[in-house]
Amino acid sequence: MSAFEFFFSFYGLLLGLSVAVIATGLATAIQHRKKVRIGRLTPLLATFVALDIATFWDSAWTNFRDMPFSYGLLVAGLAVALVYFIAATLVFPHQIEDGDSLDDHFWANKRIVLLLLVAANGLGVLMMVWASIGKPGGLGTMLTYAANMVLYMALIVPAALAKRARLVFWTVGAHVVIYLILAVASALYPTPS
């Protein structure tokens, strides 16, 4: 096992647990669908968080596979993965009672969830910039990540602070569409390893 495979197995496990938490919350909500109003905001948030984790996971694979292993890289990856895990655990309520509305849970938690994602992505961009220093094309990679972070923040920070469902729905929804377009494009036109 290479040093990168060692790092990525640890990192992937933590990110995978975040996705599992979202899937478990969704499954519980579906099981209780006759007793609970699911709404559209919590499923949208769950979709966004899952796609954000997948995007970050892909980015880590792309940027860290040529880096030498270090304890610092492991700790930085741990910090990002823990932030994602905490955000993922807040998407769905841990207990669902008859008559609950997931929209109520959404409004109580969406700000912290989205701001945690902004923090995870900010840390991630710092890690990607660090990984790109001195590499051929590193400046272009850094500028691309900076531009992506500006777009990310332009959509997600207003959603985190919004008090209107329509604004949250359109900003987070727009980012979900961006992620889905990127997924389809990468499937149709894969980048060689």
Domain count, the chain: 1
pLDDT at position 193: 56
Q: What is the pTM of this model?
A: 0.90
29-80 per-position pLDDT tens digit: 999 888 888 889 999 999 999 999 999 888 877 777 777 777 887 788 889 9
The b-or-e profile of 69-102 (16+ CB within 10 A means b, else e) is eeeebeebbeebbebbbbbbbbbbbeebeeebeb
Q: Is the dihedral of CA 74, 78, 84, 89 positive or negative?
A: positive
Tens digit of each residue's pLDDT, the chain (193 residues): 676 677 677 778 888 999 999 999 999 999 988 888 888 999 999 999 999 999 988 887 777 777 777 788 778 888 999 999 999 999 999 888 777 889 999 999 999 999 999 999 999 888 887 777 777 877 887 888 889 999 999 999 999 999 999 999 999 999 999 999 999 998 998 876 5
Tokens of 5: 């495979």
- Residue 128 domain boundaries: 3-188
Residue 107 lies in a domain: yes
Q: What are the residue ranges of helices labelled H in the chain?
A: 3-31, 41-64, 71-89, 102-132, 138-161, 165-188
In a domain, 43, yes or no: yes
Quote the pLDDT of residue 3: 67
Rounded Cα distance between 21 and 51, Å, is 14
Token pair of 149 as six digits: 């972070």
What single letter denotes the amino acid at residue 188? L
- Is 193 in a helix, a strand, or coil? coil
Provide the pLDDT for residue 95. 84
Handedness of CA 53, 55, 80, 105 (dihedral sign): negative
- Torsions phi, psi for 101 (to 5 deg): -120, 125
Residue 62 in domain: yes
- Please indicate, yes or no, if residue 193 is contained in any of the structural domains: no
Is residue 101 classed as helix, strand or coil in its secondary structure?
Answer: strand
Which of 117, 93, 114 is CA-nearest to residue 39?
93
Residue type, 190: P
